Copies of this chain bind each other. A is one copy, B any other.
C-alpha cells in the first residue's frame, strides 16, 4: 500500500499578506502537489489560502487545522477541515502533522511554529522568513532558500532521505 498515506508538508506564514508572498505561497502549494505531497496549514487566508489554492489547482491535497470551532472558517481550498477550538495553540498540531515545514514570511505565530518544528526535529525550510539567533550568537538551523523552487526541491530530497532506509 505504498503511497497510500498522504505525506504532508506544513506551510506556515501570515494570515494576511501582500501579493508577493501570496505568489510564493501559491507556487509552493502547486509545486508540492506536483510532487504528490499534500499540505497541512492553519486553514485560513493569506499564505495559507494561497498555498491551498495552488495545491488544489494542481490536484493536490489540503488539510486545514483551524483555530476556531467551525469548519466553515476554512478557506475554500481546504479539502479536510479540522476545527480545533484551541485558538493559536493549534499551531502545535499543524507542525506535528508535518514531515517538513516551509515558512514563508511570517509573524510571531509563524515564529512559534518554526520553533516547535526545530524542537521536534522536523526540518524547517524558509523563504523570506525569521532568522532567530540564540543567546550565544548561533543562528537556528533553518534552511534558508533563495526561492520556493529551491525550497520545494530541498524538501522533496529531505523526505526521500527520511523514508529511505540507509538513505
Interface residues of chain A, those whose CB is within 8 Å of chain B, are: 1, 4-6, 8, 38, 40, 61, 63, 65, 69, 71, 74, 76, 78-89, 92-93, 96-97, 99, 105-109, 111-112, 114-116, 118-120, 128-136, 140
CB neighbours (8 Å) of A105 from chain B are 135
A82 to B38, CA, bound (A): 12
A88 to chain B, nearest CB (A): 6
A90 to chain B, nearest CB (A): 9
Asked if residues A80 and B63 are in contact (CB atoms below 8 Å), the reply is: yes
CB neighbours (8 Å) of A69 from chain B are 87, 96, 120
Taking a contact as CB atoms closer than 8 A, the residue among B79, B89, B130 that contacts A92 in the complex is B89
The 16 sampled A-B contact pairs (Cβ below 8 Å) are A4-B79, A8-B80, A63-B80, A69-B96, A82-B96, A83-B97, A84-B92, A86-B87, A88-B116, A107-B134, A108-B119, A108-B140, A111-B140, A130-B132, A131-B132, A132-B132
Taking a contact as CB atoms closer than 8 A, the residue among B40, B107, B136 that contacts A119 in the complex is B107
CB neighbours (8 Å) of A131 from chain B are 132-133
A119 to B112, CA, bound (A): 9
Taking a contact as CB atoms closer than 8 A, the residue among B5, B61, B106, B120 that contacts A74 in the complex is B5
Q: Which of A74, A92, A119 has the most CB of B within 10 A?
A: A92
Taking a contact as CB atoms closer than 8 A, the residue among B89, B114, B115 that contacts A86 in the complex is B89
Taking a contact as CB atoms closer than 8 A, the residue among B78, B85, B99, B111 that contacts A89 in the complex is B85
Asked if residues B119 and A88 are in contact (CB atoms below 8 Å), the reply is: yes
